[in-house]
Amino acid sequence: MYKKAAEVIRRANRGTAFTGAGISVESGIPPFRGKGGLWGRYDPTCLEIEYFHSHPREAWVVIKEIFYDFFTRAKPNAAHLGLAALEREGMLHTVITQNIDNLHQAAGSTEVYEFHGNSQHLLCVNCRARFHVSEVSLEVLPPTCDYCEGLLKPDFIFFGESIPSNAYERAVHEATHSDVLIVVGTTGEVTPAALIPRMAKQHGAAIIEINPEESAFTHEITDVFLKEKATVAMTRLLNELGITTAE
């Protein structure tokens, strides 16, 4: 399977990666669903936009615990580094991610489109001022704007919010112009993100999937299924391609 995946990537003219929470699990960030999933421990209501506006303090208590208390210590793992190495070797053009943890950028990937935004910045819902999370104290919740005392919201997409248009347009462009899509660590259950690999397949892309479990994509669109954890599969794939990553 790894030889076949390597062959597909070598032959491709334009490669794209589509990643989900599973690629960051080995960096210590729990997934949302499945074993140890966050939605088995926390109520996803905290990420519904109406609830956030009606119960900002309660929502922020959970958001801080999930996304800021331990996310910020996470480091890129061999899978993130592997995708950055593929980009350096000209074998991958873009990473489309559902993740908000900034680990692809930290690993060195430069063409990263974040379908669900990024947790590094907070926005004032009132005056739209933008702060890096390191500039804001989360000791008193909810955090408020230094300029207008408005409520600060993480700059990632809540349930009920629309996908950032630039990320959506770029993702659709890449999905319809790539001849290989490497899907890593996603259940494929959340739309519209999950439409991207399906669009790629419809436009003739070969789908390589890395996931220790089957996903909604596995029997529907996947051509090469590497049933393995992301760091193990990516390391074996790069070995097949004769690429070493800067660890």
Nearer to ligand APR, 145 or 245 (CB): 245
Rounded CA-CA distance 207/218 in Å is 9
Task: Copy the structure tokens of residue 36.
Answer: 């140890």
Q: H or E stretch including 130?
A: strand 130-132
The dihedral through the CA atoms of 26, 31, 36, 38 has a sign that is: positive
Amino acid at position 62, single letter: V
CB of 246 to ligand APR, least distance (A): 21
Nearer to ligand APR, 14 or 170 (CB): 170
Nearer to ligand APR, 25 or 122 (CB): 25
Half-sphere exposure of 221 (CA within 13 A, CB side): 25
CB of 98 to ligand APR, least distance (A): 4
Rounded CA-CA distance 189/41 in Å is 19
Reference 70, options 121, 29, 104; nearest CA is 29
Catalytic residues: 116
Nearer to ligand APR, 31 or 164 (CB): 31
CB of 210 to ligand APR, least distance (A): 6
Amino acid at position 231, single letter: T
Binding site for ligand APR (CB under 6 A): 20-23, 25-26, 31-34, 37, 98, 116, 185-187, 189-190, 210-213, 215, 229-230
Amino acid at position 154, single letter: P
Nearest residue to the partner ligand APR, using Cβ: 22
CB of 66 to ligand APR, least distance (A): 11
